[in-house]
Structure 1
Amino acid sequence: MRARHRARQVLNYVNLSTPLGLLIALAGRAGVRRGEHGLLYAHDYRIPFPVAGAFTVGNVILTARGEGYLTGALLRHEARHATQYAFCAGLPLLPLYVLAVAVSFALCGHPASWNPFERLADLEEGGYPRRSSRWRRGHP
């Protein structure tokens, strides 16, 4: 494992975001297995929230889908979110992310298009559209 992945792994354990992700996986009865770059994959997550193909808490990537779903562009996108937890000192990312969703929704009517966390994780790789702001479309 590369030094940056190991650093992210350690930071996300110490800042308690990965332990929270493991608790969420346990609550959602997801099967957890080791993935690449120090990530943990939690498949078959059974709680219907949040509504997303996958979501990340610390180094834990959770999905309602079965094994084999977390690959390619989506995996790269979610791995970037794991890095964001490390940069935001873990759990403070959660209220910041909720605020970013609200701002994005107010600006363009979509929770991800203007969300800086999603933009930095690459919107398209996460399966999100890149919408223009309401004022650019001529909306009030």
Structure 2
Amino acid sequence: MKPVYRARQVVNAVNLSTPLGLLLAATATRPEGRVRKGPDGLLVAGGYRLPVPIASAFTVGNVILVRGDASRLTGTSRLLRHEGRHSTQYAWCLGIVMIPLYGICAGASMLLCGDWASYNPFERRAGLADGGYDRRPLRPFLRRS
């Protein structure tokens, strides 16, 4: 593993975001959705069943939680790379502090364009297209001003 990914792994363990992700994986996934090792120090758990967040996959620390079968996330998957970038964001955003920051940014994006990802800097930095998002324009009344 590259040193940068090892550092991300250590930082996300210390800042408690990965332990939180593992707790979610243990409590909010189906029994068949056990945690497996992914590339670059990431952990992947399938079978996430809570209604929030609504995304098909999301990351908490170094843990990627996936609705349904996690085997679709392979080492070459664009979605896996997108979620890996979110893992790095957890390391830089002081761990679980990223959760409320992300929520604030998602709300602002929703107000700006009606979509929680398009103007969310966390999603934009992780790559909108890699995450399966289309970039939506600003709401019409905001485009005029």
TM-superposition CA deviations, 1:47-66 (whole Å, max 9, x none):
23211110000000000121
The TM-score with structure 2 as length reference comes to: 0.91
Letter of the 1:17 counterpart: S
Query: Out of 17, 32, 37, which is 2:35 matched to?
Result: 32
Pairwise CA distance, 1:69: 1.6
Pairwise CA distance, 1:88: 0.4
Is it true that 1:128 corresponds to 2:108 in the alignment? no
Q: Comparing 88-97 with 62-71, which one deviates more in the overlay?
A: 62-71
TM-superposition CA deviations, 1:59-88 (whole Å, max 9, x none):
000001213221311000000000000000
SS at 2:69's partner residue?
Answer: coil
Aligned residue in 1 for 2:71: 68
Q: Comparing 25-34 with 124-133, which one deviates more in the overlay?
A: 25-34
Q: Tell me how far apart the structure 1 counterparts of residues 71 and 35 of structure 2 sit (CA, whole Å).
A: 13
SS at 1:20's partner residue?
Answer: helix
The ranges of structure 1 where at least 4 consecutive aligned residues each deviate by more than 3 angstroms after the TM superposition are: none
Unaligned runs of 5+ in 1: none
Identity %: 56
Is it true that 1:80 corresponds to 2:85 in the alignment? yes
Letter of the 2:26 counterpart: L
Pairwise CA distance, 1:42: 0.5
Q: Tell me how far apart the structure 1 counterparts of residues 61 and 109 of structure 2 sit (CA, whole Å).
A: 22
Q: Tell me how far apart the structure 2 counterparts of residues 49 and 31 of structure 1 sit (CA, whole Å).
A: 19
Q: Tell me how far apart the structure 1 counterparts of residues 102 and 20 of structure 2 sit (CA, whole Å).
A: 16
Query: Out of 85, 102, 105, which is 1:100 matched to?
Result: 105
Q: Tell me how far apart the structure 1 counterparts of residues 78 and 68 of structure 2 sit (CA, whole Å).
A: 16
Q: Tell me how far apart the structure 2 counterparts of residues 25 and 49 of structure 1 sit (CA, whole Å).
A: 14
The total of aligned residue pairs comes to 138
